Structures are given as C-alpha cells and as structure tokens.
Amino acid sequence: MPSPLERVFVALGSNIGPRRLALDFALDRLSGSPGLTLVAVSTVHDTAPVGPVAQPRYLNAVAELTSALDPSDLLALLLSIERLQGRDREHSPRWGPRTLDLDLILFGRRIINLPDLVIPHPRFAERLFVLEPLAELAPDLIPPGFSDSVATLRDRLLAASGAGNP
C-alpha cells in the first residue's frame, strides 16, 4: 500500500559560489525525485549570516512539497543533493559558509525526535530567514508542538529583533 502524501517544507540556503544556481539545482533535483511533488517555492531572500563565523550573505527560500517518502528517506535525499553541490558536513564548521544547505523544517503534523532528525526543525522558529519565506507559503499553518501560526511566529520575531519597526 502506498504511503499517504505528507505536506512538507524544506528550507534552502546558499552563500558560496553561484548561490542562485545552487538553489535552482536543489529545486530541480527535488521536483524530479520519485515520491516528491514540488507544490510552491517562496521568493528568494538575501539574508545576513547567523553564527560566529564571518562569511558572505545567504540566499534563502522555502519549498513546499508533497511527499510519499519516509522522513528519514527524505533527509537522506536532501543530504545527497547537498553533497552533489560540494557540501561536506563532516569537515565544515557549524554555522559556517556552505554551497547548499537543505533543512527539513516540517513534515506534515509529525513530531520526530531521532538522533539524526528532529521535526519540527529545532531552531526554525528563531530564524527569520526561515520564517519569512515559510510565511509566504503557509502563513496560517500552526506547526506541530506550537500554538501560534507561522505568520504570528514571524511577526513576534520581527518585533523582538526591531526589524519590524520603521
């Protein structure tokens, strides 16, 4: 019996090399993968890096897909796409520059807590570079484990950062 389709959201980021081409490559790979259907893609946001390592600015976006894949299989696919773009997670500094970063943010209504996979992504609600594009696609979505919508989470973070003030 086929797996039921799940609504999933993947965050995309790149700040090394041809950033836009890296995002387009990832979207092409995702849309051409069996068991996945690309539903929508946010606009691309040019964002400042987060973390202690000095590095160039990022291009970030979020893709909405439907998936018949198991969450671990989808994660494996995301990691393989990163590797095809030259990403080496084992030898790269945490929060360092990257050719391509693909994070599984939400997988349907599931809450998953495995050693190599936590869903919802543990820091997505603290990151405007995820919340802003995610809110374009699903502003009214209330992520599992949360009581507020994506738009409310974004607005709260904007207010706290002062970015939402004139």
Which residues, listed in sequence order, are joined to residue 6 by a DSSP beta bridge?
67
Distances from the Cα of 3 to the Cαs of 6, 69, 70, 71, 117, in angstroms?
9, 7, 8, 11, 19
Q: At what angle do helices 128-137 and 150-161 cross, to 10 degrees?
A: 140
Q: Catalytic: which of 87, 109, 110, 116?
A: 87
Query: Is 101 marked active-site?
Result: yes
What 3-state DSSP class applies to 75?
Answer: helix
Q: How far apart are CA 12 and CA 101, in angstroms?
A: 6
Query: Is 123 marked active-site?
Result: no
Q: How far apart are CA 101 and CA 63, in angstroms?
A: 13
Q: Catalytic: which of 24, 103, 155, 156?
A: 103
Q: Catalytic: which of 19, 98, 127, 154?
A: 98
Q: How far apart are CA 13 and CA 62, in angstroms?
A: 9
Query: Is 28 marked active-site?
Result: no
Query: Is 127 marked active-site?
Result: no
Q: Catalytic: which of 19, 101, 127, 154?
A: 101
Tell me which residues are annotated as active site: 87, 98, 101, 103
